[in-house]
Amino acid sequence: MRKQVDRLIRAVVEPLCALLIVAEVIILAAGVLFRYGFHNALIWSDELSGVLLLWLAMLGAVVAYRRREHIRITALERVVSPATGALLDAVSSVVVALFCLEMLPASYRLLVQESSQVTAALSIPRSWIVAGIVLPMGLIFVLAVLRLLESKPRDAMLATLGGVVLSLAAYLGRDAFAALGNLNLLVFFVFFVGIVVAIGVPIAFAFGTGTLSYLALTTHVPLSTVADRMNEGIANIILLAIPLFVLLGLLVDCSGMARRLVDAIASLVGHVRGGLNIVLVVTMYLVSGISGSKTADMAAIAPVLFPEMERRGQDRGEMIALLSTSAAMAETIPPSIVLIIVGTVVGLSIKDLFTAGLLPAAVASIALVIVALARSRRTELAERATLQRIARAFFVAIPGLALPLIIRTFVIGGIATTTEVSTVGIVYTLLVGIFIYRELDWRRLYPMLRETASLTGAIMLIIATATAMAWALTQSGFAQQLAATLATAPGGRAGFLAASVVAFVVLGSVLEGIPAMVLFGPLLFPIAIQLGINPIHYAIVAVLAMGIGLFAPPLGVGYYAACAIGKASADDAARHVIPYILALTVALVIIAAFPQISLILIGAKS
């Protein structure tokens, strides 16, 4: 019975998510065509895209939960015994189930409240939008219960009993919580969230459970507010760039573009000792300008380069170290998803952020190349490619080399928005894969759409619950207290910037860039502006710092993704990554100290 229910959910939700992604591509492409080609804007396209985005995000969260692809911390899981790990997994299922159990009545109340309202352009009942939260919450609850039933009976019983007892004790102790005042922020958002994240509960559900528990036990705020904040957090049309750029990255690999880009750069510098290291860094720089997904970037590059690098005597741990730190460097290369989220949550121009990120990434790339060449003295030399071979390789790679230029030209020229331009890239890549390279395998399209939906759901649910948590923190007065404390910190502007770098490195390793920025961006950016720090420069420094944390062991999730993609032991690769992390740190200090590196291309003053 359990397997039948699971298969039924998969059979319904995954194709629906694929259809939603295709619909978003068609709607946005039509919007560009009608506005720029026919000078007749479709006034309803943004509204419809936003509605479909909410459904895609929440149903994608169902797909991600079913596939165990929600972002979570696995450090504790890797060191405990298998029996303890199984018990922690059961506890995680209970926490997720309790979150959904709290969200179902809360989101249903919001649905009832919104039933009399309609949207501006299409006159769609707003209850249809909120239903995009209610239904997925119910499906995730069912999946969490099914997963709990798959556990050993003893683990399931202990986890369920523990969850019920703690919930009842917390409910009966509401008066005690009320007496704690703002100390409840530590109880719920530091200790509780920290503990459930540490035991492996997906970050999105940890944030959501902490927020719901805080509001339910210490305030009189209706819990439907959480559903409303979640809706506000992911209904922004700008965030539609996330699934579409993820899909674009997968298509770039499937169409043959990524392989030909690698071949072209390798023909130019592959004969230099350590030249393939240069190829890896440069290719990551170029491919990141296309996909926006660092996992997709690494997955596209590693299978192409690693076999030849290993044949030349390169240690696999060394390759993993360079791959992961190159991905950290690429966090500021457009169309970085983190940059899109920064611009959204703190109100900065995404076009300026995209432009500002190019030179800092180049500085970080140079630092990595210097270290890579210094550590490649024992690698074999390859035969120098002839000019004819180099010319041919670059000629074949022209479609891939042109894609980043097309994307940036459309954005800077005002032809398409940051969101819409992803559809231009998707259409272009499909045409190249079908008619030029003729490598596009249509059988891979549905799995790519499913993977896009899963990653979108994992990211967007974090944004949704982190938005609700940030609202709760702001309403508590924590934002004002933090601002007052940091604004009077010693060292003034330089001291605040240095403290921010340390904080964002830690946050990047613990929370990853997206939830960290959604939570702390609205709190810290006003302080930076008050101290005279250009917000674009501050954003670039923050994103690069979070990238270092994300791809640095022992906690960085991105580092373990690189190890999985490169099929290497995380322990073996860890010692190789230190020199590269130090190189990135030096580059970060230089970028932070000289704001013009970030600002010169946008013509802004430091």
Give the model's confidence band at 377: pLDDT under 50 very low, under 70 low, under 90 confident, else very high. Answer: low
**403-417, 488-502, 518-532, 542-556: which range is least confident on average?**
403-417
DSSP 12: H
Q: Which H or E run contains 227?
A: helix 224-234
In a domain, 469, yes or no: no
Q: What integer pLDDT is reported at residue 401 of this predicted model?
A: 85
**95-109, 212-226, 510-524: which range is least confident on average?**
510-524
Number of H helices, E strands in the chain: 30, 0
Contact 221, 418 (CB under 8 A): no
Q: What integer pLDDT is reported at residue 104 of this predicted model?
A: 96
Q: What integer pLDDT is reported at residue 569 of this predicted model?
A: 67
Kindly list the distances between the CA atom of residue 266 and the CA atoms of 68, 370, 388, 454, in Å, as whole numbers in the listed order.
Answer: 36, 17, 14, 33
Strands (DSSP E) contained in 282-433 are none
Contact 348, 602 (CB under 8 A): no
Higher-confidence position of 337 and 480: 337
CA distance 467 to 473: 10
Q: Give 73-117 pLDDT, tens digit per residue.
A: 777 887 899 999 999 999 999 999 999 999 999 999 999 999 889
Strand partners, 125: 118
Q: Give 147-173 pLDDT, tens digit per residue.
A: 999 999 999 999 999 999 999 999 999
Q: What integer pLDDT is reported at residue 487 of this predicted model?
A: 67
Q: Give 6-19 pLDDT, tens digit per residue.
A: 999 999 999 999 99
**221: three-class secondary structure by DSSP:** coil
Most confident of 3-17, 367-381, 386-400: 3-17
CA distance 382 to 275: 9
Dihedral over alpha carbons 345, 350, 354, 359 (to 10 degrees): -70
Domain hosting 116: range is: 2-173+225-235
CA distance 258 to 182: 51
**315-324, 330-339, 404-413, 590-599: which range is least confident on average?**
404-413
CA distance 452 to 17: 9
Q: What integer pLDDT is reported at residue 292 of this predicted model?
A: 52
Instruction: Classify 438 in phi/psi space as left (phi over 0), alpha (psi -120 to 50) or beta.
Output: left
Quick one: tokens of 547? 């990238």
As a whole number, mean pLDDT of residues 577-605 equals 91
Q: What integer pLDDT is reported at residue 368 of this predicted model?
A: 94
Would the pTM count as exceeding 0.75?
yes
Q: What percent of the chain shows pLDDT beyond 90? A: 39
Strand partners, 118: 125
Kindly list the distances between the CA atom of residue 263 and the CA atoms of 33, 266, 267, 298, in Å, as whole numbers in the listed order.
Answer: 34, 5, 6, 16
Q: Give 34-56 pLDDT, tens digit per residue.
A: 888 788 878 888 889 989 999 99
Residue 2, pLDDT > 60, answer yes
In a domain, 9, yes or no: yes
Strands (DSSP E) contained in 294-442 are none
Q: How many CA atoms lie within 13 A of 285 on its CB side?
A: 19
In a domain, 167, yes or no: yes
Give the model's confidence band at 606: pLDDT under 50 very low, under 70 low, under 90 confident, else very high. Answer: low
Contacts of residue 503, defined as CB under 8 A and 6 or more positions apart, other chains included, come to: 520
In a domain, 102, yes or no: yes
In a domain, 113, yes or no: yes
Q: Give 472-491 pLDDT, tens digit per residue.
A: 877 777 756 766 676 676 77
Domain count, the chain: 1
Residue 224, pLDDT > 60, answer yes
In a domain, 408, yes or no: no
Contact 21, 56 (CB under 8 A): yes
Residue 243, pLDDT > 90, answer no
Residue 366, pLDDT > 90, answer yes
Higher-confidence position of 518 and 60: 60
Kindly list the distances between the CA atom of residue 50 and the CA atoms of 41, 54, 183, 252, in Å, as whole numbers in the listed order.
Answer: 16, 6, 37, 26
In a domain, 144, yes or no: yes
Q: Is the peptide bond before 554 cis (omega within 30 degrees of 0)?
A: yes
